[in-house]
Amino acid sequence: MGAPAAARPVAPPREAQLAELGLAFKRVFRTLSRIRGRDTHLAGSELSHAQFELLIELQERGELSAGELAAAARLAPGTVTQMLDGLAHSGHVERARSEDDRRVVVSRLTPLGERQIEVKREAWKARWDGALEGVGERDLRAATRVLERLGAMFEDTVPADDCPAGEQAG
């Protein structure tokens, strides 16, 4: 039989809530890490999460050089160049000399790349809407504020060589 309730230490409500938030954040972070890890096991024509992120950057920013795309996606230029080779081979992007500086090669989305983005966005929107069904506006606003604060914290204060974000939360 356990100790009487009065003898057990009770965490203050805020500390308990922060611990719960930390654990929830860890689970989300680990799930995102698993999604990225699955990229190495994809079928030949399936886009990886990282490739999809590059397509999104091209859609949002227009044509970019490999260096600009690497900076935007926070990836190594060599990695981006290799990914762009695959995306060009599969018909998702096309590469051409820049009109402004003929020494620079830029990448841009093809119609196939645009369609791939829309298909994935529709699928994710359906999952997103389903997962958040029944969550009230007040809770959504609060979640947004919390995620923005956490994002700013990791963006501004965590050096790249520190432990992963999921290990710091909670």
For residue 121, CA distances in Å to 41, 44, 111, 152 come to 21, 21, 15, 25
Report whether 69 contacts 84 (CB < 8 A): yes
Q: Cα 168 from chain centroid?
A: 18
Given this model, what pLDDT does residue 158 score?
52
> Beta strand 105-109 with 64-65: parallel, antiparallel or unpaired?
antiparallel
In the block, tokens 């230029």 appear at 77
Q: Are 165 and 29 in contact (CB under 8 A)?
A: yes
Indicate the pTM of the whole model: 0.66
Sheet containing strand 64-65, edge to edge, reads 64-65, 105-109, 93-97
Predicted confidence pLDDT, tens digits, the chain (170 residues): 555 656 666 667 999 999 999 999 899 888 877 876 665 545 556 788 888 889 999 999 999 999 999 999 888 999 999 999 999 999 999 999 988 888 899 999 999 999 999 998 999 899 999 999 999 999 999 999 999 998 888 887 655 555 444 444 44
Residues 6+ apart with CB under 8 A from 117: 52, 55, 56, 59, 109
164: Cα separation from own chain's centroid: 14
Domain ranges of the chain: 13-41+134-158+165-170, 43-111
Provide CATH code, domain 43-111: 1.10.10.10
Angle in degrees, 0-180, between the axes of helices 77-89 and 49-61, rounded to the nearest 10: 90
